[in-house]
A and B are shown apart, each in its own frame.
Chain A
């Protein structure tokens, strides 16, 4: 019998990725477990974004493999990754300005009927989608000015909260957050950090990319440091080794 907490939800084994002459990922391996926040650290160009894009199906690996629950996963497209239970909140959000929060939530996976028609020709079940999206927004205590207004009218923090909330609805295994607080003020950041803790509490594995060491120390159970496409360190972040983490990132450790 397999104990659920003992086996990693997602594991990347010896990942390789090249862009022409540039080796973006060299033999990077990582594992992440249920209910854990893993911080992915590194300077610009260290390979964090490339790694994340491979996991979320935007890039294909040149070598190595990704397994989900111990089974090899073919993450050939963003849709395939999402079907496998991996949700990604991109830095540029990927929200549709012209749609409402509920419409954004279900975009590309609309609840619709009847099921014998092809998806494109089904009728939208707007009530169910509105109700469930509203329930999630409520549960996550996200304050929105108006629920039926296009997200174009909302602030950066509200939009980020919607994007994270969307991931929380659909995430079944792994949530990847790429610098979720980069464009936010203090109060709005706090909201998003609370959402991340909630994701973790609900049993998701969370991969967090950030440059903010305070957030790493506060949220992350583990941190992995990449430099020039290689994994150069892995440790449990705390106040006392914060400085060590920084020197690992910039490559100045003894």
Chain B
């Protein structure tokens, strides 16, 4: 930004003052945008608890945590992929296929370990297919391959499931993990916390995480810096698949069943959670905990609309509107950052 010569001193002074004023306000606005999602979540909780006293009852809060456990877990994996500028549309069908695989194994053995392993392996394998085809098939965007596996997994799940429909029954350990509570907090939420914790350690404290952010920030530069970009990309989709497998354990535990119909539109919920939580679609931005905040926000909104007897269809509209707001906030943040950069250059010394 070039500074045009000012006709007189007063004008120059007012320019200088406005630059200084903006330069001191901007960082605060940016900081506010960064913690915005958490503030909005707290604000939302306060408003809802005023509107309906049932909201703050422990049993209702426990319900919310149980309801969002699957979305939150799968959203962590989705976030890892979105960090690399990618997207994983297959998570919902992947989860359904994983529950079916678990259900089939349960017909052969009572071992809960075997059933869990089947679900985790199925999810991870589909994730690996996504990543490998995307990277080594030289696809322009992961949208296409994950859209294909969305369809393939749903078809496979329907084909493999006995009677092409829901199969009852899950081992006790899985039912306990997905359905039971401990001091009012559902076990599934402890699983969510564990997944968030492990993901946070991997993404914030390990070299792999740094590479993830670098690849998302600038894939070309990452290659130039000697980062194994292909390996990082494949690993992101593998992690997303693994998270879908963990989500499968939680969901079939909660329902005591496996079904080829599970996880319908889960890809939308997880992408919404990541974006609402404050990550950027442009990649390389956002703390992994944002996915949890986003999932909690979706849970609170749905729960509040239920408690207030609002039509279910309106919930879908509300979530959609919130996604638009979140994406606009991301756009605004990028514009403000560009302004901050311009101010750095013109700052009068």
Nearest-neighbor residue (CB-CB) of B212 within chain A: A120
A1–B292 CA distance with the chains assembled, in angstroms? 65
The reply to whether A155 and B226 contact each other, CB–CB distance below 8 Å, is no
Interface 1/0 per residue, A87-110 and B, CB below 8 Å: 000100011111100010001111
Interface 1/0 per residue, B205-236 and A, CB below 8 Å: 11110110110111011111111100110000
The distance from the CB of B83 to the nearest CB of chain A, in whole angstroms, is 10
Residue B10 at the A interface, CB < 8 A?
no
Residue B309 at the A interface, CB < 8 A?
no
Complex contacts, B224 vs chain A, CB 8 Å? 58, 78, 90, 94
Nearest-neighbor residue (CB-CB) of B202 within chain A: A121
Complex contacts, B225 vs chain A, CB 8 Å? 78-79, 94, 107-109
Q: Beyond A78-B226, A97-B217, is A153–B341 a contact (Cβ under 8 Å)?
A: yes
Interface residue tally for chain B (C-beta within 8 Å): 32
Q: Beyond A152-B341, A153-B340, is A107–B207 a contact (Cβ under 8 Å)?
A: no
The reply to whether B217 and A112 contact each other, CB–CB distance below 8 Å, is no
Complex contacts, A120 vs chain B, CB 8 Å? 206-208, 211, 228, 231-232
A157–B216 CA distance with the chains assembled, in angstroms? 24
Complex contacts, B284 vs chain A, CB 8 Å? 96-98
In the complex, chain B residues 218-267 whose Cβ is within 8 Å of any chain A Cβ:
218, 220-228, 231-232
Complex contacts, B340 vs chain A, CB 8 Å? 153
Residue B14 at the A interface, CB < 8 A?
no
The reply to whether A108 and B341 contact each other, CB–CB distance below 8 Å, is no
The reply to whether A108 and B227 contact each other, CB–CB distance below 8 Å, is yes
Q: Which among B210, B223, B228, B231 has the greatest number of chain A C-beta atoms within 10 A?
A: B210
A77–B344 CA distance with the chains assembled, in angstroms? 35
Nearest-neighbor residue (CB-CB) of A152 within chain B: B337
A250–B76 CA distance with the chains assembled, in angstroms? 58
Contact of B344 among A103, A126, A154 (CB under 8 A): A154
Complex contacts, B337 vs chain A, CB 8 Å? 152-153
Contact of B210 among A58, A103, A156, A158 (CB under 8 A): A103
Q: Beyond A78-B224, A108-B225, A155-B341, is A123–B217 a contact (Cβ under 8 Å)?
A: no
The distance from the CB of A153 to the nearest CB of chain B, in whole angstroms, is 5
Q: Beyond A79-B226, A109-B226, A153-B340, is A123–B205 a contact (Cβ under 8 Å)?
A: yes
Complex contacts, A20 vs chain B, CB 8 Å? none
Complex contacts, A152 vs chain B, CB 8 Å? 337, 341
Contact of B206 among A78, A103, A121, A155 (CB under 8 A): A121
A82–B225 CA distance with the chains assembled, in angstroms? 9
Q: Beyond A152-B337, A153-B340, A185-B345, is A124–B217 a contact (Cβ under 8 Å)?
A: no
Nearest-neighbor residue (CB-CB) of A111 within chain B: B207
Complex contacts, A157 vs chain B, CB 8 Å? 345
Complex contacts, A124 vs chain B, CB 8 Å? 205-207, 210
A78–B344 CA distance with the chains assembled, in angstroms? 32
Nearest-neighbor residue (CB-CB) of B337 within chain A: A152
Residue A29 at the B interface, CB < 8 A?
no
Residue B164 at the A interface, CB < 8 A?
no
Q: Beyond A96-B221, A97-B217, A98-B213, is A155–B345 a contact (Cβ under 8 Å)?
A: yes
The distance from the CB of A126 to the nearest CB of chain B, in whole angstroms, is 8
Nearest-neighbor residue (CB-CB) of A122 within chain B: B207
Nearest-neighbor residue (CB-CB) of A145 within chain B: B344
A126–B206 CA distance with the chains assembled, in angstroms? 10
A145–B231 CA distance with the chains assembled, in angstroms? 35
The reply to whether B217 and A98 contact each other, CB–CB distance below 8 Å, is yes
A90–B223 CA distance with the chains assembled, in angstroms? 13
Complex contacts, B228 vs chain A, CB 8 Å? 120
A79–B222 CA distance with the chains assembled, in angstroms? 11
Complex contacts, A78 vs chain B, CB 8 Å? 223-226
The reply to whether A156 and B345 contact each other, CB–CB distance below 8 Å, is yes
The distance from the CB of B54 to the nearest CB of chain A, in whole angstroms, is 42
The reply to whether A158 and B344 contact each other, CB–CB distance below 8 Å, is yes
Complex contacts, A185 vs chain B, CB 8 Å? 345
The distance from the CB of B231 to the nearest CB of chain A, in whole angstroms, is 8
Complex contacts, B220 vs chain A, CB 8 Å? 94
Contact of A107 among B227, B231, B232 (CB under 8 A): B227
Nearest-neighbor residue (CB-CB) of A58 within chain B: B224
In the complex, chain A residues 155-208 whose Cβ is within 8 Å of any chain B Cβ:
155-158, 185, 187-188
Q: Beyond A78-B224, A90-B224, A157-B345, is A121–B218 a contact (Cβ under 8 Å)?
A: no
A95-B221, A99-B214 given. 13 additional CB < 8 A pairs?
A: A58-B224, A77-B226, A94-B220, A94-B224, A96-B213, A98-B217, A99-B217, A119-B207, A120-B211, A121-B207, A152-B337, A155-B341, A156-B345
List residues of A whose CB falls within 8 A of some B CB.
Answer: 58, 77-79, 82, 90, 94-99, 103, 107-110, 112, 119-124, 126, 145, 152-158, 185, 187-188
Q: List 19 A-B contacts (CB under 8 A).
A: A78-B225, A79-B225, A79-B226, A90-B224, A95-B218, A96-B218, A98-B216, A99-B213, A107-B227, A108-B214, A108-B222, A108-B225, A108-B227, A112-B207, A120-B232, A121-B206, A123-B207, A124-B207, A155-B342
The 7 closest A-B pairs by CB, nearest first: A108-B225, A79-B226, A155-B344, A155-B345, A98-B284, A98-B217, A96-B217
